[in-house]
Chain A
């Protein structure tokens, strides 16, 4: 049974947005011509996701740059959600996107369309943006808008098809402060409307004794969120860079979150670039979340999605890049081979592991898990 619990099914647009999001530069230039072939591997919490991604960008004429991406996920899931309510499953998702950048003077306009298809979820997102460089190219302002129209399906019912409409409103600014220091400021408002919960996921409520019973989750039909992020990067007195990021989030479901990241980039041995990052994330729970409701239909909205509970995670990343053909070779201007490894540790404060037997309802151990992410990719510039 293709039970998809990974809530994130309903957030597939997030990846769509990632590739269709505006590219912020600090001067009015088109992105470099390059091609990247990436293999990604995620493992943790009973879930394994891997697959390739190919991104190709090519300038056409003096004013246009085209970009295309093909991305695939091969998913094997025995996550705690799946093991709590259903059976492990395998799934495949294919995402394709095509975009264009148009440069006119100090202004860059972008358009992008992305589609994502899996057996029980289809998404299509169209994005537009405009970037204006000003004040001697010290300041760059970006406005963006995207709209996604998704169809939520269900593997056990081929007639099940519920629409979701998503809209993203983005405002960004990049500012050069000194010859070694720059900052980015981002604001993003996202609105969702439609079928926003997961057709497979359940909540649980007390049976009045020591056990519990399941019922389907119920979410509001609208979701509005606001996010603000500030990033800074500093070129150190020797050739290396330090960066930091703070991001705050709040939404109409009562979830508030804050994250922070620090990073350090160090070139080494002429051809290598080493990079290290640490990220900390912390969030509070949604107003209608409960690990164990007191009785059936205890309130109008019901959620037991662990990503709507209170939790935190820590992440460390190490990445190494080796640059080759820096003097050019054949049609290639330069190339790089890159390996990135990340480790996450998640700790939930009010989401209990109900797959552990021998406990009364509400007294199971709190859930925690770790995951590892690997990226290996080849890049060439031409």
Chain B
């Protein structure tokens, strides 16, 4: 129990301190490549999401249009 409290306090402390990015901005070349976008063409993504909405009983959390790294 005591160990759990210590671990939680450590995690809490870590959460309040500034986080050093483990992937530096200059290491994000791959992520900023357009092929890494979840929906690199918003007009097309929006249309396909509409097709899914129309053909599925489920709805929501389709990701929306857009995406991308925005690292440039």
Contact = CB atoms under 8 A, between A and B. Distances in A.
A binds B: yes
Given A188-B60, A241-B36, A249-B60, A19 B70 contact: no
Contact of A55 (B34, B42, B59): B42
Interface stretch (A36-44, A205-213, A352-360): A36-44
Given A186-B61, A228-B61, A229-B62, A19 B46 contact: yes
A73 B71 CA distance: 36
A308 B55 contact: no
Of B46, B48, B49, most A-chain CB atoms within 10 Å: B46
B53 to A, nearest CB: 3
22 contacts: A6-B54, A8-B54, A14-B50, A15-B50, A21-B62, A23-B65, A24-B67, A36-B42, A38-B44, A53-B43, A55-B43, A168-B60, A182-B36, A189-B60, A249-B58, A249-B61, A257-B57, A307-B55, A373-B48, A375-B47, A379-B41, A379-B43
A135 B61 contact: no
B55 to A, nearest CB: 7
A342 B68 CA distance: 23
Interface of A: 6, 8, 11, 14-15, 17-19, 21-29, 31, 36, 38, 40, 42, 53, 55, 69, 135-138, 168, 170, 172, 176-180, 182, 184, 186-190, 225, 227-229, 231, 233, 235, 239-241, 243, 245, 247, 249, 255, 257, 259, 265, 267, 273, 281, 283, 286, 307-308, 313, 338, 340, 342, 344, 346, 373, 375, 377, 379
Contacts of A243: 38
A50 to B, nearest CB: 11
Contact of B31 (A23, A135, A176, A239): A176
B57 A255 contact: yes
A11 B36 contact: no
Contact of A231 (B29, B63, B70): B63
Nearest to B51: A373
A307 B33 CA distance: 38
Contacts of B38: 24, 184, 231, 233, 243
Q: List 8 A-B pairs, minimum CB-CB distance, nearest first.
A: A136-B21, A23-B66, A21-B64, A14-B53, A188-B60, A249-B58, A227-B61, A36-B43
Contact of A255 (B25, B27, B58, B71): B58
A19 B36 contact: no
Of B45, B65, B66, B69, most A-chain CB atoms within 10 Å: B65
A180 B65 contact: no
A28 B35 CA distance: 19
A319 to B, nearest CB: 8
B33 A235 contact: yes
A275 B59 CA distance: 25
A18 B64 contact: yes
Contacts of B53: 8, 11, 14-15, 18
B23 interface: yes
Contacts of A377: 41, 43-44
Contacts of A228: 61
A14 B59 contact: yes
B30 to A, nearest CB: 4
A239 B33 contact: yes
Given A27-B69, A373-B51, A377-B43, A187 B31 contact: no
A247 B61 contact: yes
B59 to A, nearest CB: 6
Nearest to A53: B43
Interface string B6-40: 00000000000001111101011111011110100
